[in-house]
Chains A and B, each alone.
Chain A
Amino acid sequence: MNEKSLETDDRKPAGFFSRMLAFLLDIFLLLFLELMIGVVIFLVLHFFRYKQILDFVKSVLGVEDEFAQFIGLISPVLFLVVLIYFVFFWTLVGYTPGKALLGLQIVRQDGRPLSVGRALLRYLGYWVSAIPLFLGFIWVLIDRQHEGWHDKLANTHVIYILSKQSKLKE
């Protein structure tokens, strides 16, 4: 067991409200990021006269609205951005910026940090939790271990790391 797992062994699982707030913060951050990326893509496409590309998208998607066409065009990129955002932060430090602000960390059941495969599985779990009217997320509130469906799927849990900080402060 490495140092990190020793540090997090005795941590309490994070509750629903903290996790929801952290998730909302991440969504805001992602929205900003996606907007920036969208603008950059738009500028690049505009430079290369993207009308032809949009016509192609139109023929594939059957959408008339130009904005919708553009969104349809860049949605795979945005999906990738979101995926990379979560997987990158979860595997690198164990928390996204939103979770870091609220003092939360995602670890495996044995306290170890997440691998890339497990992080990808957890992200897939997000969709599983979201599809049945977000029941998988609400499950955090009901479950005694405060685990959502995505946690159960990836065998992870979210813990508070604020106790460590308060100890350090003392």
Chain B
Amino acid sequence: MNSKDKNDEDFPNSSADLILALPAPQTSGSASGESEFTAEDYKNALRLLVGAALEGNDELRDRIIMWRATIQKGEQVIDASILDEETGGSPLLYTILGLLFKTPEYLGRGTSTAGRVSSRATSFVSRLMSPITNSWAMRPARRRYNVLVTRGESVVSSLEKTGRSEARSSRALVRQQVNDEMVEDALVYMVEKSKMREMIVETSAELGSDALTDIRGRTASVDSSLDNIVDNILRRQKLKTPPSGS
């Protein structure tokens, strides 16, 4: 294996490096010669998926905001009363639709309520149990519990950190992929489409030719104006027909 192949297989280890590097297919390892899907491939594929989801979500949100703004410009008062053509099943349909739109609101409200309740319950229980948990007998268990809590917090913190970093690199990866592909596609299109090239050349030539014809026409008209002036100064008659060269 030469050094180039070796370099191709040297995948970057940090997520920042991965912004600019997609893995090359690995050929070694299996007897049948089929490429293996390594953990790094899985990570990269996941990055692309996450990046696409995040970027797509942002794009969708932006478009919805724009769409809402457009609608609000020409907004009319929506009559929510019962329409004439409604059937018996319509109220159920509208209830379900209303529920769909209200669900995030209810969920948000419910979550915050649940958080508040659980926080109060925890503090109440911890207060209630504090004589036991702080007792001399429970001291070894408490020490173990504190170690576990610290470890759990560090794991969560590490996961959050990884998530943030991966989200950033995934976004960058998707953006780069999209940009590269778009530019490449456009260039390939321009190069392969000979008609496009011909059209550009023809249009440029026509524009140049038109401009030149225009300049020539203008100078010729200045010439005839000058002729008229000279004829007037010299008080001679204008030539009715252009003099022949031969």
Q: Chain A interface (Cβ within 8 Å of chain B)?
A: 8-18, 21, 101-103, 107, 109-111, 141-142, 144-145, 157, 159-160, 162, 165-166, 169
Q: Which of B223, B224, B245 contacts A157 (CB 8 A)?
A: B245
Main secondary structure on B side of the interface with A: helix
Main secondary structure on A side of the interface with B: mixed
Complexed CA–CA distance, A142 and B229 (Å): 10
Number of A-B contacts (CB under 8 A): 65
Number of B interface residues in the complex (CB < 8 A): 20
> Can you list 17 residue pairs at the A/B interface with Cβ under 8 Å?
A9-B245, A10-B244, A11-B245, A13-B245, A14-B220, A15-B227, A17-B219, A17-B222, A102-B219, A103-B212, A110-B245, A110-B246, A141-B230, A142-B234, A159-B245, A160-B220, A162-B213
User: CB of B242 within 8 A of chain A?
Assistant: yes
User: CB of B125 within 8 A of chain A?
Assistant: no
Could you tell me if A166 and B213 are in contact, using CB atoms closer than 8 angstroms?
Answer: yes
Q: Using a CB-CB cutoff of 8 Å, which residues 157-196 of chain B contact chain A?
A: none
Could you tell me if A144 and B219 are in contact, using CB atoms closer than 8 angstroms?
Answer: no
Q: Quote the shortest CB–CB distance from A154 to chain B (angstroms).
A: 14
Residue in chain B with minimal CB distance to A166: B213
User: CB of B131 within 8 A of chain A?
Assistant: no
Query: Which residue, B213, B217, B223, has most C-beta atoms of chain A within 10 A?
Result: B223
Complexed CA–CA distance, A100 and B40 (Å): 67
Q: Using a CB-CB cutoff of 8 Å, which residues 86-114 of chain B contact chain A?
A: none
Complexed CA–CA distance, A12 and B246 (Å): 11
**What would 8 more interface pairs be, CB under 8 Å, given A142-B230, A166-B213?**
A9-B246, A14-B223, A15-B220, A15-B224, A16-B223, A107-B245, A111-B246, A162-B213
